[in-house]
Structure 1
């Protein structure tokens, strides 16, 4: 027995953000988890640049990598998790982790990128506090 998977239903039900952008970096798909994570509704995100969620100081580096990927058709982040800062609609900083997959047209031309994104802001803060506490303990033990 073969089951049929409704991929839109899956993308809308999953807890991780799924963001699909076209070859120019404009958002084409934005699931409910992306809305919760970044604060932008689908209407606010679709058709707009990924700059919505990229901190201004990192945009040059992001676009260099994005355009290189679109030109080469290769990415190392299909298997490796990329951890970077991002921005919420209200301006607060987020720490996200994601993988990407390249999307191709029926003619096998590279047409865009899908990112599966997890918010790791709380984990990042906890790690930073733990490292700070460890440094304090090491300093007091050496004194």
Structure 2
């Protein structure tokens, strides 16, 4: 026998950040993992623009894509995992990976976008350090070795 899923409990308990934004790009859902990841409380985030977590240099490109998605009802990302920079409330840089899905009203009107986000800052830094070390070792290797 299948029991009903308590979606509020699921969104609250999940370890990844779940952020929903409306057609206008303002945050309508901000779970506890998003609070831990980005530093903003739910009260601080709700109703605010996604700009609170998007680095200033990337905002133009983000909003071009966001508005295009809202007007066409299509995203070119589908099930792809996107890896982009983000910012914490305290201003430090984050590296995040996320997937997006489009949300619709019962009348099939596009109402917003949900992103499920994971903080990959430490993994990204480790990979960058490994690439740097590899480049240093390759530079030290004798030619033709």
- Give TM-score, length-normalised by structure 2: 0.96
Following superposition, the deviation at residue 72 of structure 1 comes to 1.1
In structure 2, the residue corresponding to 1:47 is in which secondary structure? coil
Equivalent residues in 2 for 1:2-81 (5 A)?
2-81=2-81
Aligned length: 143
Q: Where do 5+ consecutive residues of structure 1 fail to align?
A: none
Matched, 1:94 2:127: no
- TM-score between both structures, scaled by the size of structure 1: 0.98
Moved over 3 A (4+): none
Q: Which runs of 5+ in 2 are unaligned?
A: none
Of 93-102 and 70-79, deviating more is 70-79
Secondary structure, counterpart of 1:142 in structure 2: coil
Distance in 2, matches of 1:142 and 1:49, equals 53
CA RMSD of aligned residues (A): 0.8
Alpha-carbon displacement from aligned partner over 1:90-126 (angstroms, at most 9, x marks no partner): 0000000000000001110000000000000000000
